Chains A and B, each alone.
Chain A
Amino acid sequence: MSSLIRPEENVNPAEELVELDPHVFYHPIRRDILHLCVVHYLDCQRQGSASTKTRGEVRGSGHKIRPQKGSGRARLGDAQSPMLRGGGVAFGPKPRDFATKLNRKVIQMGMRVALSARVKEQSLGVVRSLEWPEPKTKTLKDRIEELGWWKTLFVTGLDRVPDGLARASSNLPMVETVTAADLNVYNTLKWPRIVLDLAAVEWFERVLGKPQVPPREYKL
């Protein structure tokens, strides 16, 4: 375990160990499940606001532009046909919802695989707590430079991110804070380094851990 705040002299944070649940943090790596989760997340992020007008929606009257026969040119109806310049679009995009459904348990497995992948690459760290004393960006920046923790995602297991850290890091470009409930597979893969606090480790082990099912009692 490391620590965000500078520790006391006699305590070496690197010697403190935290035990992780292998079902959550040592899960076999399934890249195809990660692919499903990431594609699902990106689909849901789509705004889906591309819109065009069909020949019925383009402003204009329905009168026939030139007579059916006699002009020597192709036959035409109204001026909004997609064949013509200024006409409507045939089969153009309309605002639609691109969200897809993915099974809840697949997403949970994706979270476990993503955390396990980070543990395997040694890019996951655990801190005792993410409290930062005063909301000064400068001091946080210096500490992060010292630790070498740029491009890090801090995940807290509490209901809200600690105020000091949230305010100090909000203007830092390569640092991001999030709660464990709001963490998704995409962000876990996007950020090169993840730092959890102990509450977050407990949260993941509770939510993603193997459910304990008591064996059924039979009366024979």
Chain B
Amino acid sequence: MSSVAGRFKATAGRVHLFNLSPAHGSQSTQKRLGRGRSSGLGKTSGRGHKGQKARAGNGKPKAGFEGGQTPIVKLFPKRGFVNPERKVYAPVNLDRIQHWIDQGRLTSSPEKPITAKELLLSGCIHQVHDGIKLLASVSPSCVASRMLYNVFLQGAEHLKTAIHITAARASQSAIRAVEKKGGTVFCKYYNELALRDCVKGRTDRIEAAPTKKNDILWYTSWRNRGYLSPTALDKMPPTLVHERWRELSKQLLAFKSQEYEKAK
């Protein structure tokens, strides 16, 4: 309770229903229009005289109207298109994951790798967007020397433990850095539904395989540590591999050995 001398009401003795009052300044009177001169809001009720704004109903032109001048939304031409297949990945750097492991907020093992769910629930990531992309953050001073093979990476240098992570995508430097410390990275295809099930922990649904050509090429190559590449299916712990993936991998890579008749 405020004990400023000027505002403190010295109410005597007992507290009763008749000597309660609200905190000073906590409640203000309502503005009532059109109730006489002395209120200050009589007659025109704060609207001034005539004009569009003084009228009943909305009293305003439509949004964006500039009085007849070509509005800013019409001055410039439309440009381009919006790609519905655009994917935005939530980036996570290796040094951030290492910090979380040091604090004890994240743990990983080959049988229980870090997925989008663990990263989200531990606060490492705030939104999963269309999936996680594992990155090794590169400081600006290192960009110039990227031509060197063993470039000194700022984020990667903080990684000390072996982590096992399943992401939607991973950068080459991140893959190199994780495997150098003895960890594993596998990249798995998540569509919207699969990502939602991963985050909510639902395992009863079958996760869809990639259908687009670019996705298939990406996730069947070992360079990206794609989960449908034959090497990855051998290296992943058997508890995590679905039988369906082996069949999918076989069928999706069949194009490499297929022959076709050339046009005459």
Contacts and interface: CB of A to CB of B under 8 A. Distances in A.
Contact of A186 (B11, B14, B17, B103): B17
B239 interface: no
Interface size for chain A: under 10, 10 to 19, 20 to 34, or 35 or more residues? 10 to 19
B140 interface: no
Contacts of A35: 20-23
A36 B17 contact: no
Nearest to A35: B20
Interface string B1-27: 100000000010111110111110010
B102 interface: yes
A156 B148 CA distance: 81
A190 B14 CA distance: 11
Interface stretch (A24-32, A128-136, A159-167, A198-206): A24-32
Nearest to A36: B22
B20 A31 contact: yes
A36 B13 CA distance: 20
Given A218-B104, A219-B103, A220-B102, A32 B1 contact: yes
A121 B14 contact: yes
Contact of A117 (B15, B21, B102, B103): B15
Given A29-B1, A30-B1, A218-B103, A121 B22 contact: no
A31 B23 CA distance: 8
Interface string A6-34: 00000000000000000000001111101
A189 B13 CA distance: 13
Contact of A31 (B1, B13, B102, B104): B1
Interface string A173-192: 00000000000001001100
B1 A123 contact: no
B194 to A, nearest CB: 32
A215 B227 CA distance: 42
Given A218-B104, A219-B104, A220-B103, A34 B14 contact: no
Contacts of A28: 1
B23 A32 contact: yes
Given A121-B13, A218-B103, A220-B103, A34 B1 contact: no
B16 A32 contact: no
Across the A-B interface, give the 6 residue pairs with the lowest CB-CB distance, nearest first.
A219-B104, A32-B23, A35-B20, A117-B15, A121-B14, A35-B22
11 contacts: A30-B1, A31-B19, A31-B20, A35-B22, A35-B23, A186-B17, A189-B15, A189-B17, A190-B17, A218-B103, A219-B104
Given A31-B11, A32-B22, A189-B17, 5 more contacts: A28-B1, A29-B1, A31-B15, A34-B20, A219-B103
